[in-house]
Structure 1
């Protein structure tokens, strides 16, 4: 009996170390960033069982077998659709400004479609204005409405959008609504999901959260896009979830959320529509390729229309493109670079690019919220401040709520607006969307918004920052250790 238990003990120990060795080899074989690999290895060696379970759950990009298969099978038809779209030569821009040229070439080469011109574009800087415009456009819809949001939380003016959407479905408009399961948990627990379905809205709960699926798909992979498409012509995207900030996270102690949305008319709605159709097919298995663009889809002449490129990221889309686009934009800056983000945990490459821009004389400003709803990200982001300040980057901490706007402005000409945070999750994991706009008029509008944010912020003083308490430095470094995993 003693021999049996001895053998069993040695077998368990051998199996235990074999498991650790197997996971270690798997991490090393994956071509991931060195800081991320080191962080995972340290977690696994310090807390082996917890670390192994965490890595198998969150360490790799598991879309799930069924969704991954859909992502593979949808591309032949999508490629044919894009090929047909390219025959509409009149909607594509054939030239760009000097500062935007490299980024537009990158996006065209990797996504297979150039930026589109002749779009009308409007910045919406208040939630009330955005929701009112959205209700008005839904009421005018005649054929189809497609929506995807990370969070839809009932309450306030969000309910007015829900009522308008149900009314549209009742009068025969084809309405599709896709919401992230984790972000919109309160919506799916409320009566609104059933009410919408009864009204004829096709409601889909995307990437459902379940303990039964924890090893089949990565649970923290989220549908983070915010997109509205109406009649294949009007489009919205930006940082705003479908919430009324007066009813959203009031107990978080960070104030109301401050967002930015873009309302567009023109051919950009067609390129955004193909992204939505891919998301819908990956999630439901149903194909809803948008119709070919109408010959009259571009009523705005070149001199009055904006040139826009749409970047999509996430499983099934060009890998690392968002990260490459940000690096290209930063390295294109010659005079000024302004970035706003609620969550600042950049990659080493992006941090290096930002610091390099400041060191070569570019006026670089980063605007982040002073108080963050994520304790981990709030502390981790501060670990980068010293290096940024030493390079001459100006850091502004927004004090009038939680600044949730994600924007980049380069030399007043090249703008990036969308759903992408400057953190690892947005850059390499989630389904995201970003508009790239090559237009100095839009750049002026965005600059005015960013100037307003700066006026409501406090500039971080480099000398005062260097004298911060020692315990704060320890906390920053501790949370920085987890930054590759955030």
Structure 2
């Protein structure tokens, strides 16, 4: 009996260390960044069993076999369609400013989508304006409506959008709605999904979350895009979820969410439709045929208010590190000014270095973040970066008019980036994200006015006072900073 227990004991000990060694080797073989690897190794060695389970469920970018196979198939056919589209001289713009040229060339090379010309562009700075505009466009839709959101929260004007969408479906408009399972969990617990499906809307729960799927796919991989497409001609994109701020997270104690959306008309809707069709097919296995290359809806406007817009997408199945490379290219292109707004400031080492380097070489760098954040972990982790940024001369503003959720970058008043990407590792290397890049001085002026308004409602962080903050705060910041690669 003693021999049996001894053998069993040694087998358990051997299996325990073999599992830890195996996961350690897997982390090292993946060749991730040193901070990322060190954070996971520390978790695994301090809390072995919990750490191993956490790594196997969240440590690697794994979409799942079925979705991965679909993603590979999609882009084989999509690349052919994009090559055919490049023959249309009225679609892509070959002329870019010297500020935007590196970014546009990078994206054309890596994702096959260049800057699209001939678009109308409008910034929507309030949630009310955005929701009312979406309702109006839905009411005028004739053929198809495609929507994807991370969060759909019922209540207020969000219900008006739902009613308008159901009315459109009843009159024969083909409506597709893709919502993230985790972000829209409250929506899927209401009667709205049933009502919409009964009205004829294709409602799909993206990346379902359940315990049974934990080892089949990474559970914290999220569909984070916010997009509305109407009749292959009208498009919306930006930071706003489908929520009415008056009915959203009122008990969080951070104030109303402040967002920024863009409404566009023109061929950019076709380019964004390529991204949406990929998301839809990855999730459902059903193919959405792209519009004909020479269809009237993709012929651009011909007037002085035309805008060239580039759509940049990321996520499993898309070019790896696409958003990260795009942001680095954008920051290094800055020569005079660089203004950034983000709710979550937990950048990679490369991004932090690029931002600080821009300031050191004389660029006026300003970053606007919310003073109060809905994420305790991110709030403390982001502050760990303040000292290095302030030392480099970066001006950090803390927005006091609510939770600033807008994600925007303006370079030299010429190149504008607006979308769903936070400056954190989750957006940079994990989630399905989308960003618009606009190479236009007039759009730059519009974005500058919005950012100036944010700054007017913010408090500038004093570098001297920050250096004198309590030591316990510094300890907490460094503790959360260590886990920043996982946030």
TM-score normalised by structure 2 residue count: 0.99
Residue of structure 2 equivalent to 1:124? 124
Residue 446 to residue 7, structure 1, CA distance change in 2 (3 Å): same
CA separation in 2, counterparts of 1:234 and 1:196?
A: 22
Task: Decide whether the 8 Å contact of 1:143 with 1:174 is kept in 2.
Answer: yes
Residue of structure 1 equivalent to 2:424? 423
The Cα offsets for residues 354-406 of structure 1, whole Å up to 9 and x where unpaired, read as 00000010000000000000000000000000000000000000001000000
SS of structure 2 residue aligned to 1:53: helix
CA shift, 1:281, in A, is 0.3
Task: Decide whether the 8 Å contact of 1:232 with 1:290 is kept in 2.
Answer: no
Residue of structure 2 equivalent to 1:378? 379
SS of structure 2 residue aligned to 1:25: helix
CA separation in 2, counterparts of 1:267 and 1:60?
A: 36
Which segments of 5 or more consecutive residues in structure 1 lack a partner in the other structure? none
The answer to whether structure 1 residue 34 and structure 2 residue 40 are counterparts is no
Task: Decide whether the 8 Å contact of 1:85 with 1:292 is kept in 2.
Answer: no
SS of structure 2 residue aligned to 1:416: strand
CA shift, 1:303, in A, is 3.2
SS of structure 2 residue aligned to 1:89: coil
The answer to whether structure 1 residue 273 and structure 2 residue 259 are counterparts is no
CA shift, 1:213, in A, is 0.2
SS of structure 2 residue aligned to 1:91: coil
SS of structure 2 residue aligned to 1:178: strand
Residue of structure 1 equivalent to 2:388? 387
RMSD: 0.8
CA separation in 2, counterparts of 1:92 and 1:107?
A: 13
CA separation in 1, counterparts of 2:300 and 2:46?
A: 62
The answer to whether structure 1 residue 43 and structure 2 residue 43 are counterparts is yes
SS of structure 2 residue aligned to 1:218: coil
Residue of structure 1 equivalent to 2:148? 148
Residue of structure 1 equivalent to 2:337? 336
Count of matched residue pairs: 486
Residue of structure 1 equivalent to 2:440? 439
CA shift, 1:113, in A, is 2.4
Give the 5 Å matches for 1:387-406: 387-406=388-407
Residue of structure 2 equivalent to 1:479? 480
Residue of structure 2 equivalent to 1:203? 203
Residue of structure 1 equivalent to 2:233? 233
Give the 5 Å matches for 1:164-183: 164-183=164-183
Residue of structure 1 equivalent to 2:21? 21
CA shift, 1:296, in A, is 5.7
Give the 5 Å matches for 1:153-302: 153-293=153-293, 294-295=295-296, 297-301=298-302
CA shift, 1:295, in A, is 4.0
CA shift, 1:3, in A, is 1.1
Task: Decide whether the 8 Å contact of 1:117 with 1:302 is kept in 2.
Answer: no
TM-score normalised by structure 1 residue count: 0.99
Residue of structure 2 equivalent to 1:110? 110
CA separation in 1, counterparts of 2:348 and 2:62?
A: 21
CA separation in 2, counterparts of 1:112 and 1:232?
A: 19
CA separation in 2, counterparts of 1:361 and 1:147?
A: 42
Which segments of 5 or more consecutive residues in structure 2 lack a partner in the other structure? none
Task: Decide whether the 8 Å contact of 2:370 with 2:402 is kept in 1.
Answer: yes
The answer to whether structure 1 residue 303 and structure 2 residue 304 are counterparts is yes
Residue of structure 2 equivalent to 1:73? 73
CA separation in 1, counterparts of 2:132 and 2:46?
A: 52
CA separation in 2, counterparts of 1:163 and 1:30?
A: 47
Task: Decide whether the 8 Å contact of 1:342 with 1:421 is kept in 2.
Answer: yes
Residue of structure 1 equivalent to 2:12? 12
Residue of structure 1 equivalent to 2:3? 3
The Cα offsets for residues 267-301 of structure 1, whole Å up to 9 and x where unpaired, read as 10000000000000000000002212424633422
Task: Decide whether the 8 Å contact of 1:235 with 1:264 is kept in 2.
Answer: yes
Task: Decide whether the 8 Å contact of 2:267 with 2:297 is kept in 1.
Answer: no
CA shift, 1:453, in A, is 0.1
CA separation in 2, counterparts of 1:181 and 1:97?
A: 40
Task: Decide whether the 8 Å contact of 2:169 with 2:199 is kept in 1.
Answer: yes
CA separation in 2, counterparts of 1:74 and 1:409?
A: 33
CA separation in 2, counterparts of 1:249 and 1:16?
A: 43
SS of structure 1 residue aligned to 2:250: coil
Task: Decide whether the 8 Å contact of 2:124 with 2:260 is kept in 1.
Answer: yes
CA shift, 1:302, in A, is 6.0
CA separation in 2, counterparts of 1:313 and 1:360?
A: 30
Deviates more, 1:287-296 or 1:140-149: 287-296
Task: Decide whether the 8 Å contact of 1:277 with 1:288 is kept in 2.
Answer: yes
Task: Decide whether the 8 Å contact of 1:258 with 1:405 is kept in 2.
Answer: yes
